[in-house]
Amino acid sequence: MKFELNHKIVEVPDSQNDYRLLWVLRDHFNLTGPKFGCGIGECGACSVHVNGDVQRSCSLTLKDVDGQQVITLEGLSTDEKLHPVQQAWINENVPQCGYCQNGQIMTAVAAIEQSPALSKTEIYDAMDGVRCRCGTQKRIKAAVDEARTVIAREASNG
Amino acid sequence: MDKLTASRRGFLSGLGWASVGLSALATGCTFPAIPHRDEPTPEDASLWLSVRPEGIIEIVSPRTEMGQGIATAIKQIVAEEMNVSIDQVSYLSPISNRLPAVKGTVGSESIMVFGPLIAKTAAALNNELNIRAARQYGLNAGEFKIHETFLISDKSEKFSLTSLLSPALVLNPETIEMAKSKSFDTHGKKRIVGTSISQHEIASIVSGGHAVYADDIILPNMLYGRLITPLSLNTIATNVSDQALRKIVGYWGLVQEDGLLAILAENRSVLDLADDLLEVTWIEKKPASPDVDSLMDFSSPASEEGREHVLFDAKWEKTTFDVDITLKIPLAAHASMEPRTAVANFKKESDPFLQVWTGSQDISLTHQSLSKEFALGENQIVVHGMRVGGGFGGKVSSGIERDAARLSQIAGRPVKLQWRREDEFIRGYHRPPSVHHIQASLDNLGKIDKWSHNFKSGHVIFSSAFLPSWIQKVTSVIADKGVARGAIPPYEISKKRVAFEDVRLPINTGPWRGLGAAPNTWAIETAINLLAIKNNIDPLKFRLSLLKKEQKRLYNVLIQVAELAEWGNNRGRGECALGVACGIYKEMSYSATIAEVCRQKDGTIKVSKLWSVHDCGFVVNPDLVKAQVEGNLIWGVGMALHEKLTLDGNQLSATNFDNYDWTSFIDIPEINLKLTNQEAAPTGAGETAIVSATASITNAIHSLTGEPVLSLPFNQGEAHS
C-alpha cells in the first residue's frame, strides 16, 4: 500500500496494514516529530495531519492512511523557512522539556490553517485536548496568537 | 591529542564510581537507591571543558537538561568567560565515561552549585589560552577572538589555533580555584549572561530531525522490548504463554526471569499484539492492610515502625485554639509527557561492553547501578544522558536501564525498552499523600502565641521504591528530609511544636516537584490565612507583621506582589476574590503569589489571574527562569484544583491519562510575574513558586466561598453550595 508522507509517495508492505502509524513513522521512517505519550489518543503528543486534519497517530493503523496525505512535524516546512507556527514557537521560547510540543504545533497549524476565521477562543478550545506537563501553555497562547496574526497577514498579502 | 583539555589523570579509577552508600544494601528493589554525592570540586570541573581545534569550546555537561534551561545557561556562562559567541559553545549532554561521578540533577541547584564552578573553569581555560597566545603570538588578552581554526587579532591578523593547543594543557584544580570569573559578578558588565537566549535544542523540538530524547535513538539491528505489566498493584503473572505470538512475523520472544517479564519484537506494532495474544494469568494478592487512607488518618495508631520526628517541642497546658484544622493532600503522579525510555547495547564478546541511552535525572547513579548489577568494570559501561522529557523528581532513579541492558544481553542485540503510560502509573513512584493537623492561636497583641503542626506523610527519600522494607525500618529512626522540607514556618511564634511521622505505604512514593515544601507550605499558609481571617486582619498585612526579622527576602516579595496585584485596591470584583500566600524553597528561594479566582456560570471556580514575585537571586537567563516560574504556578493550579491519585485496594484511580487530570489549556490564568533581588547570589527556580501558588489559590477560594479549603484538590462540587 502507498500513502503520501511529507509530500513524497511512500510504499509499505500490505502485510503491515495493521501496524500503528506512530511506530511506522518513528521506527521505519525515522521521523522523531510525533512522540509516544499515552497510546490511547488522550495526550496528543503523537499528532500528525491526515489530509490536513489533526489526528492521533497512536490510534491509527497504516490501513487508515492508505492513499491519504500524511504530514508530520518534519513536513511542515518544505524549504529552509520554518512554518509561521514553528517560528512563533521559537520567538516565544515556548518549549521546556519539549516532548509535547509536536502535538501543540500540529494542532495549532491545523486549527489556524483550516479555519482562518476561527476566533482566539475557538483556537484555544482546539488546543485544549493537547496536554503539556511543564506548564508552557501561557507561551503556547502567545505563540498561537502571534502565528495567527502572521498567517492572516501573509494571506491578505496574497 | 591536539586539543586543550584537562588531564585524564585519575580518570574513572578514583572518581567516585566505587562509592556505594546505601545502594549497596538495596539490591532487589524496584529502583536503585539514591546515593549521597558530594558537591562538585575543581578537580571534577577540570574534566568538563575543552577547546576544540575547530574553534569550538566543548562542555560535557554535568547537568541534565529536562526543560529547566540549564543547557542554555551553561552555554551562556561558558561563552561569557571564554569571550566567544554562544554558537561557539558546544554543549554535550552528560556522558558517563567523560564525567567524574556527579550528583543527579535534582533540588533546583544546578546554577547555584555548578554555575560558579563552571564559570571559574571556563575563566581558567581562557586564562591559559591567553597565556599561550601572548607567549606564542605576542597577543594580549582581549585583543583577539577565536574564529574557526584561527585567532583573529584586532588588526585582523590570523594565527593558528591548532598550534596553540599543542601540547595538550592540563587545567589543574588550583588554577580553577584561583580563576576570577565574571558571570556571577552581579555588578560587572556582561555580554551574554543575564540575557534571554532560547531553549537549547529548540530548533529540533519545533521541527524534528535530530535525536533529542532516548526514544529518538535507533541502532542497527535493534529490537523493541515491552514489559508485561498488570493493571493493579500487588499482582503477579503466572502461566505466561506466548504461543499465539510466536506465529507472528517479527516476534522475537518472551523473557521471563526473576523480576523481569517482557517480550521482544522487531517492531513496536508486533509488541502491540501482545495485548490480545499473550496469555497471562494474573494473581492478585490481598490488598495491603491497613490501606493508604487508614495509614494517613491521625486516629489510626502509628504504623509498626513509625517514629515521630520532633523539630520543635514546646509544651503548653491544655487550651483551645483560634485555628484547629486537619488538612489532606492526596497522592499525585509525575505524569511527565515522556514515558521512561532506555536503549541498551550489550556486547558480550571477549570484552563485554554496555552502552545505554536514557532520559535519566542521574546518569552517574545509572552507571553505578549497572556496573554492580552486571558485574562490569567502570570503564565497560557508557551511559549517554539524553534530554529528559519532563522529570519533576520522577526520573531520579529507575530500573529501566537495567531491564533494557538485561534484555539486550539475552537477545545479543541492541534493545529499546519504553515504559507504557500504564507502567508509569503502576511501576513508577508518586508524590506521597500527607495529612496535617495544625493548631494555632494569637495572643492579645496579635502575635502567634502557640503553633502546633503534626503531620504524617509517605516517604520521599527513604521510600519503599528505593529501599527494601528492612532498611526502611532502620531508617525510620532518621527523619526523611524530603518530608520535612518547608515545615518550619517563617513567622515569629512564641511557642511551637512541629513534629512528623514518615509512614510506609503500600505504594511507591518519592520525590515530586518541591518535595515536602509544596505540601507543608500549603498547609502552613492555609492555617496562617485562617488565623488572619478569624481575627479580622488583612491576610497580607498579617503576614508582613508576623514574618521573622531575618526573613527580609520573603517580606520583600510579599510587598512587591501586593504592589503588582494592587492588593489594597483590588478586592476582587463580583464573583471573584483574591488570596495571597508566600513561601521559601530550601531556605534559598522566595516566592509570593496572589491569586484571583472567579465563579463561572456553571458554578465551578476557576483561577483567572496570578501575580507572582520570585526571588532566586541573580539569574543567568531571565526568560527561562520566568518559564520555570510559570510552570510552577501552573502546577500550583493543578495541585489546588485537579491533581489526585487514589488507591482502592490494589486499584489505582488512574493507569493512564484518561483518568488523571491536571491543568489544561483552558485553565491557564493570566500570569503576571516579576523576578526580583538580582543582586543576591543565585539560588534555584525549578520548584519555588509552587510553594506559594497553591495556597494563594485555595486562600482565594476561601475568600470567595467563606470556607477554607482543607482537602486538595478543591472539590468543585462544594463551589455550588
- For residue A131, give the CATH number of its domain: 1.10.150.120
With beta carbons less than 8 A apart as the criterion, state whether B108 and B684 touch: yes
Instruction: Determine, for residues B390 and A97 on separate chains, whether the beta-carbon distance falls below 8 Å.
Output: yes
pLDDT score, position B519: 97
Per CB-CB distance under 8 Å, the chain B contacts of A16 are 269
Could you tell me if A13 and A31 lie in one domain? yes
Better pLDDT: B557 or B100: B557
Q: From the list B224, B249, B337, which residue is nearest A45 (CB)?
A: B337
Mutant choice from A130, A133, A137 vs B, greatest count of B C-beta within 10 A? A133
Strands (DSSP E) along chain A, which ranges? 2-5, 8-11, 47-50, 53-56, 69-71
pLDDT score, position B480: 80
* Cα distances (angstroms) measured from residue B140 to each of B151, B521, B660: 12, 54, 61
* Average of per-residue pLDDT across A48-65: 98
pLDDT higher than 70, residue B182: yes
Show the domain range for A64.
2-75
B268 contact A CB<8A: yes
pLDDT higher than 80, residue B169: no
The model's pLDDT over A115-126, given as tens digits with 9 standing for 90+, comes to: 878 888 899 999
Could you tell me if A52 and A109 lie in one domain? no
CATH number reported for the structural domain that contains residue A34 in this entry: 3.10.20.30
* Average of per-residue pLDDT across B19-40: 52
pLDDT score, position B10: 28
Mutant choice from A70, A77, A97 vs B, greatest count of B C-beta within 10 A? A97
Instruction: Determine, for residues B634 and A26 on separate chains, whether the beta-carbon distance falls below 8 Å.
Output: no
* Average of per-residue pLDDT across B145-151: 94
Polymer length of chain A = 158
Count of CA atoms in the C-beta half-sphere (13 A) of B235: 17
Say how many domains are in chain A.
Answer: 2
Helix or strand run (H / E) with residue A124? helix A120-127
pLDDT band at B569 (very low <50, low <70, confident <90, very high): confident
Could you tell me if A68 and A15 lie in one domain? yes
Cα B537 to Cα B543: distance, rounded to the nearest angstrom: 10
With beta carbons less than 8 A apart as the criterion, state whether B595 and B696 touch: yes
Q: From the list A96, A125, A137, which residue is nearest B668 (CB)?
A: A137
pLDDT higher than 60, residue B9: no
Could you tell me if A143 and A93 lie in one domain? yes
pLDDT score, position B31: 60
Could you tell me if A37 and A68 lie in one domain? yes
pLDDT band at B32 (very low <50, low <70, confident <90, very high): low
Better pLDDT: B565 or B471: B565
B660 CA to chain A: closest CA distance, Å? 10
Mutant choice from A18, A123, A138, A145 vs B, greatest count of B C-beta within 10 A? A138
The model's pLDDT over A89-140, given as tens digits with 9 standing for 90+, comes to: 999 999 999 999 999 999 999 999 988 788 888 999 999 999 999 999 999 9
pLDDT band at B186 (very low <50, low <70, confident <90, very high): confident
Cα B436 to Cα B329: distance, rounded to the nearest angstrom: 9
A:99-138 residues touching chain B, CB 8 A cutoff? 99-102, 105, 124-125, 127-128, 130-138
Is the predicted ipTM greater than 0.95, yes or no? yes
B:326-355 residues touching chain A, CB 8 A cutoff? 335-339
Per CB-CB distance under 8 Å, the chain B contacts of A124 are 665-666
pLDDT higher than 90, residue B5: no
Instruction: Determine, for residues A43 and B662 on separate chains, whether the beta-carbon distance falls below 8 Å.
Output: no
Mutant choice from B64, B195, B206 vs A, greatest count of A C-beta within 10 A? B206
Instruction: Determine, for residues B657 and A37 on separate chains, whether the beta-carbon distance falls below 8 Å.
Output: yes
Could you tell me if A10 and A66 lie in one domain? yes
pLDDT score, position B444: 92
* Average of per-residue pLDDT across B425-433: 94
Instruction: Determine, for residues A39 and B656 on separate chains, whether the beta-carbon distance falls below 8 Å.
Output: yes
Instruction: Determine, for residues A133 and B69 on separate chains, whether the beta-carbon distance falls below 8 Å.
Output: no
Percent of chain A with pLDDT over 70: 99
pLDDT score, position B334: 97
A:136-155 residues touching chain B, CB 8 A cutoff? 136-141
pLDDT score, position B301: 53
Q: From the list A28, A42, A72, which residue is nearest B208 (CB)?
A: A72
Instruction: Determine, for residues A136 and B631 on separate chains, whether the beta-carbon distance falls below 8 Å.
Output: yes
pLDDT score, position B465: 61
In this predicted structure, which of B165-169, B626-630, B633-637 has the lowest mean pLDDT? Answer: B165-169
pLDDT higher than 70, residue A10: yes
Instruction: Determine, for residues B207 and A74 on separate chains, whether the beta-carbon distance falls below 8 Å.
Output: yes
pLDDT score, position A8: 97
Could you tell me if A88 and A133 lie in one domain? yes
Burial of A119 (0-12, 13-18, 19+ CB in 10 A): exposed
A99 CA to chain B: closest CA distance, Å? 5
B211 contact A CB<8A: yes
pLDDT score, position B348: 81
Grid coordinates given for B595: 491569586
pLDDT score, position B3: 43
Q: From the list B201, B268, B630, which residue is nearest A20 (CB)?
A: B268
Cα B113 to Cα B133: distance, rounded to the nearest angstrom: 31
Estimate to the nearest angstrom the gap between the alpha carbon of B479 and the chain centroid: 21
Q: From the list B211, B389, B665, which residue is nearest A97 (CB)?
A: B389
What is the number of other CB atoms lying within 10 angstroms of the CB of residue B624?
Answer: 25
A33 CA to chain B: closest CA distance, Å? 5
pLDDT score, position B173: 95
**Of the residues A21, A43, A75, which one is the last residue of a structural domain?**
A75
pLDDT score, position B478: 66
Could you tell me if A91 and A149 lie in one domain? yes
pLDDT band at A27 (very low <50, low <70, confident <90, very high): very high
**Of the residues A50, A75, A100, which one is the last residue of a structural domain?**
A75
For chain B, the average pLDDT equals: 90
Better pLDDT: B719 or B373: B373
Could you tell me if A91 and A26 lie in one domain? no
What values do phi and psi take at B410, rounded to 5?
-70, -45
pLDDT band at B477 (very low <50, low <70, confident <90, very high): low
The model's pLDDT over B125-144, given as tens digits with 9 standing for 90+, comes to: 999 999 999 999 999 998 99
Instruction: Determine, for residues B196 and A93 on separate chains, whether the beta-carbon distance falls below 8 Å.
Output: yes
Q: From the list A76, A105, A127, which residue is nearest B665 (CB)?
A: A127
- Report the side by side order of strands in the sheet with B308-313: B308-313, B493-503, B448-458, B434-442, B323-329
User: Burial code of B300-330, b = ≥16 C-beta within 10 A, e = fewer?
Assistant: eeebebebebeebeeeeeeeebbbebbbbbb
Instruction: Determine, for residues A138 and B630 on separate chains, whether the beta-carbon distance falls below 8 Å.
Output: yes
With beta carbons less than 8 A apart as the criterion, state whether B384 and B95 touch: yes
The model's pLDDT over B494-519, given as tens digits with 9 standing for 90+, comes to: 999 999 998 889 999 999 999 999 99
B162 CA to chain A: closest CA distance, Å? 33
* Average of per-residue pLDDT across B279-292: 92
pLDDT score, position B482: 86
Percent of chain B with pLDDT over 70: 90
**Of the residues A23, A50, A75, which one is the last residue of a structural domain?**
A75
pLDDT score, position B299: 72
Q: Which domains does chain B have, with CATH numbers?
A: 4-207 (3.30.365.10), 214-284+340-418 (3.30.365.10), 292-332+430-719 (3.30.365.10)
* Average of per-residue pLDDT across B641-658: 97
Could you tell me if A66 and A21 lie in one domain? yes
Could you tell me if A37 and A62 lie in one domain? yes
pLDDT score, position B468: 54
Grid coordinates given for B297: 488518618
Could you tell me if A136 and A102 lie in one domain? yes
pLDDT higher than 90, residue B187: no
Q: Which ranges in B516-644 belong to alpha helices (H)?
A: 517-534, 539-546, 552-564, 622-641
Q: From the list B418, B627, B665, which residue is nearest A96 (CB)?
A: B627
The model's pLDDT over B296-355, given as tens digits with 9 standing for 90+, comes to: 988 765 544 456 889 999 999 888 999 999 999 999 999 999 999 999 999 987 677 999
With beta carbons less than 8 A apart as the criterion, state whether B10 and B16 touch: no
